[in-house]
């Protein structure tokens, strides 16, 4: 399971749990997608905030149950096992529709059917001895199963039309879960919140440090792909979602040339970029685009972002050279 981790540069909350009495920022967490998921919500009524956070976390866990690769009862696992799933959930269809749209938009750079390739690399890397790559025969066999056009779906069923195919929604599910969690918060009257499902979604502004009437923006630091303790940028989330994909998150070889993001066209990991951070109107969009842009490379990724309303990105190549789109402006934080 890939995880895109940011450093919360100025959240001001160090522990999970209810905020102290008298403050207006409350937090909650759960386990999903193989890691901790957290929500910080702002509201004057503590009880309302607690109910909202509980509902939002429930939404996140529901997406994890539906789309996990590791639970044999999930819809994704059943599709991969049987090649067909009848009466798919509305949530699964929503994510599949976005996957199909993004595959068309990127000319196949985003493809949820890369799972056989990932499995081939994972099996080889887990073999005893030095880090290994799959045999060429195994890699080519897996690559032949990769083609997003062979996933058919409607309200009646989801079908994989070729034997041996398998899908992964790891490049979309966490962003979608953040969107559903935000919707749950809004339904409970929460207008300001920061959600971390592995992708970030922010709305509104957070309380002032001194508990006064002022509000401050949600500022997040983006991890530098070559310095785990350093930042590539600090950005202000202006009611958008943010997601990062990087070659450091889950690697098959120590040199980071082979990792969890795979190019459907070559059967190998993309060679140019070390990380991509995308800001977009929704978590679902940001999540998928961060993966797609890693495959596209800097020039094509920035050209794509320029055509998409509300989308900005930061790319960092293997040499540490960063490039920002015009709307991806770094911010200076006041002294803490």
pLDDT digits (tens, 9 = 90+) for 69-106: 999 999 999 999 999 999 999 999 999 999 999 999 99
Distance CA 70, CA 316 (A): 31
Q: What's the mean pLDDT when you consider all of the chain?
A: 90
Distance CA 146, CA 132 (A): 22
At 216 the pLDDT is 86
At 211 the pLDDT is 54
Bigger pLDDT: 329 or 274? 274
Q: State the architecture of 75-160 in CATH terms.
A: Orthogonal Bundle (1.10)
What are the residue boundaries of the structural domains of the chain, listed by start? 75-160
Full strand arrangement of the beta sheet holding 151-153: 84-86, 157-160, 151-153
How confident is the model over 275-295, as a mean pLDDT?
A: 98
Distance CA 191, CA 4 (A): 25
Reported pTM: 0.90
**pLDDT exceeds 80 at position 7:** no
At 81 the pLDDT is 97
At 323 the pLDDT is 96
**pLDDT exceeds 60 at position 175:** yes
pLDDT tens sequence across 202-250: 999 988 765 555 578 899 999 999 988 899 999 998 899 999 999 998 8
121-130, 182-191, 198-207 — which one is most confidently predicted on average?
182-191
- First-last CA distance in the chain: 34
**pLDDT exceeds 70 at position 336:** no
Q: Show the tokens assigned to 151.
A: 């996933």
CA-angle at 44, arms to 40 and 49, nearest 5° = 45
**Residue 223 CB partners (closer than 8 Å, separation 6+):** 5, 6, 7, 230, 231, 232, 244, 246, 275
How confident is the model over 18-32, as a mean pLDDT?
A: 75
Work out the percent of the chain whose per-residue pLDDT is above 90: 80
At 128 the pLDDT is 83
Work out the percent of the chain whose per-residue pLDDT is above 70: 89
**pLDDT exceeds 70 at position 17:** no
Bigger pLDDT: 12 or 285? 285
Mean pLDDT lowest for which of 45-54, 134-143, 229-238, 312-321?
229-238
The answer to whether 250 touches 277, Cβ cutoff 8 Å, is: no
Of 304, 290, 299, 295, the residue nearest 266 (C-alpha): 295
At 8 the pLDDT is 37
Bigger pLDDT: 130 or 171? 171
Name the region of 20 (left: φ>0; alpha: ψ -120 to 50; beta: rest): beta
pLDDT tens sequence across 36-73: 999 999 999 999 999 999 999 999 999 999 999 999 99
**pLDDT exceeds 50 at position 5:** no
At 19 the pLDDT is 45
Distance CA 119, CA 69 (A): 11
Three-class DSSP labels, the chain: CCCCCCECCCCCCCCCCCCCCCCCEEEEEEEECCEEEEEEEECCCHHHHHHHHHHHHHHHHHHHHHHCCCCCCCHHHHHHHHCEEECCCHHHHHHHHHHHHHHHHCCCCCCHHHHHHHHHHHHHHCCCCCCCCCCHHHHHHHHCCCCHHHEEECCCEEEECCCCCCCCCCCCHHHHHHHHHHHHHHHCCCCEEEEECCCEEEECCEECCCCCCCEECEEEEEEECCEEEEEEEEEEECCCEEEEEECCCCECCCCCCCECCCCCCCCCCCCCEEEEEEEECCHHHHHHHHHHHHHHCHHHHHHHHHHCCCCEEEEEECCCCEEECCCCCECCCCCC
How confident is the model over 265-293, as a mean pLDDT?
A: 97
Name the region of 267 (left: φ>0; alpha: ψ -120 to 50; beta: rest): left
At 209 the pLDDT is 65
Q: How many other CB atoms sit within 10 Å of the CB of residue 87?
A: 9
**pLDDT exceeds 50 at position 16:** no
């Amino acid at each position: 399971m890939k995880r895109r981790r940011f450093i919360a540069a100025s959240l001001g909350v160090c522990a999970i749990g209810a905020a102290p009495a008298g403050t207006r920022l409350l937090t909650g967490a759960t386990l999903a997608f193989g890691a901790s998921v957290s929500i910080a919500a702002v509201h004057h009524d503590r009880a309302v905030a607690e109910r909202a956070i509980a509902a939002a976390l429930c939404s996140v866990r529901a997406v994890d149950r539906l789309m996990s690769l590791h639970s044999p009862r999930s819809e994704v696992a059943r599709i991969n096992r049987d090649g067909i799933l009848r009466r798919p959930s509305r949530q699964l269809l929503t994510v599949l529709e976005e996957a199909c749209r993004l595959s068309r938009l990127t000319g196949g750079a985003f493809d949820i059917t890369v799972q056989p390739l990932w499995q081939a690399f994972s099996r080889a890397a887990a073999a005893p001895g030095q880090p290994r790559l799959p045999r060429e025969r195994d890699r080519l066999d897996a690559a032949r199963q990769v083609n997003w056009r062979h996933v058919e779906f409607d309200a009646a069923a989801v079908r994989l039309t070729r034997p041996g195919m398998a899908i992964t929604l790891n490049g979309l599910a966490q962003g979608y879960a953040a969107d559903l969690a935000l919707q749950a918060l809004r339904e409970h009257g929460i207008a300001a919140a920061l959600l971390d499902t592995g992708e970030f979604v922010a709305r509104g502004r957070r309380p002032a440090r001194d508990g006064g009437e002022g509000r401050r923006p949600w500022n997040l630091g983006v991890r530098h792909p070559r310095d785990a303790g350093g930042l590539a940028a600090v950005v202000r989330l202006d009611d958008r979602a943010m997601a990062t994909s990087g070659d450091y998150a889950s690697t098959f070889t120590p040199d980071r040339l082979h990792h969890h993001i795979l190019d459907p066209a070559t059967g190998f990991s993309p060679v140019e970029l070390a990380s991509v951070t995308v800001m977009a109107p929704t978590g679902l969009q940001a999540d998928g685009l961060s993966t797609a842009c890693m495959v596209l490379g800097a020039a094509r990724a920035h050209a794509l972002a320029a055509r998409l309303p509300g989308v900005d990105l930061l790319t960092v190549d293997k040499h540490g050279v960063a490039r920002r789109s015009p709307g991806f402006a770094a911010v200076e934080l006041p002294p803490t």
